[in-house]
A and B are shown apart, each in its own frame.
Chain A
Amino acid sequence: MLNPSLLQIASAFFFVIITLLILRTRKISREKELVIASGRMTLQLTLTGYILIFLFDHPHPLYSLAVILVMTVFAIHNIYARVKNPLSKSLKRIIALSMTLGTGFTVFYFMLVVVQVDPWYDPRYLVPIAGMLIGNAMTGISLGVTRLVTGISDNQSRIETALMLGATPRTATKEVVDHAFDAAIMPTINSMMGIGIVFLPGMMTGQILSGTSPVTAIEYQLIIMLGILGSVAFTTILFVELGYQTFFNKDQQLIEVN
């Protein structure tokens, strides 16, 4: 495939029109969202394209760090919006801290030890890799947050009983905390199971389509999946280990949860 022309791109919007027709004939009120989503997607990707071109032409560590920062902040807000349970201020702080430290560590390890590009901030590598690691950590931690909050609220009497019997808050919540961690990493483990057979991931497909050899594409896909596992695991373990503590006060009493 060569560079798609504008006309070719426009022809792909045929699928949007088909979907809109289905929605209209079936009277499913989702047309507005689809139109907005298509518009936003086009606009966001175009803007990102220009930003990437700018970054690639002017590589600078500060620009690269700024991109990581913007992605992280956006991901943190996305987590707050995604989780339906009310979140306390201190829990929100823990989410922000875990995302920053967990993904930060993984991205730098990945750039310096695994990929070893020179310079380390080369935006051609850093931006897409950081995007994938941060994006997946966001999905994982969102599941972890939901599980932790509902787990503590559903198991209030068990946790209180354990406390009455002299358990530390850590022991009293161990089961809930472990379930939250498990829920967060499960989707990553599942996609590692199915990858290459059930589906070809977007990054690999994109690379192959743009002319990279499948072997190189697969090598990258393999390391990126391992990186994703790391970023999900690091951010989530930080989150659950610090997060459960926000449900207790200094007297090791369970703070009332909704």
Chain B
Amino acid sequence: MDSAASDARTPLGASADNGLKIVIVGGFGVGKTTMVRSVSEIRPLNTEETMTRASETVDDVSEVRGKTATTVAFDFGRITLDARNVLYLFGAPGQERFWFLWDRLFSGTLGAVVLLDARRIEDSWYAIDRLERHGTPFIVACNDFGGPRHDPADVRDALDLDPHVPIVECDARSRESSKQVLIALVQHIQRHLGDRPARTDSSLRETV
């Protein structure tokens, strides 16, 4: 066997058959990679995607030479949930150019965590605006940087956040805290689904 390669990564179980996505969005230095690392079963990996703005629905490597190419790098980690379900956590930069790739990379995502530094709330405005427009369920998690505590009500006000969107406090370095953030997100998604007409819900379940 290829022992060097198999040592380098923790393989998934043979029965794994359903990949799921959750995206952690936030500005530079807000702790996205830290949060991914604290709950991931693998050392966070990094990869990148490239696309041109002129042709957003197709990959066109020949255009990478040109100035229209957009390249974004992102981190990710992994959590094996059970024998079949594997959750991938993506740390995504919130800046504008990234959103050209959102649909390509994160269509079908369960939801998003907007990780923010309460001292730099304005860094999150753009990401929240885009998530609302995409209709992606999300929660806001304030990473604790050890300074004076910020009142969640003030944060909500500064973000002009819908009342139904939860704000939680967290320490991205803590596995337990990061885990609670993900649980809060999934519970929010469940409520989000529950708010939709029951008819839609049941018809979907029958066709799947």
Whether chains A and B associate is no
* Chain B interface (Cβ < 8 Å from any Cβ of A): none
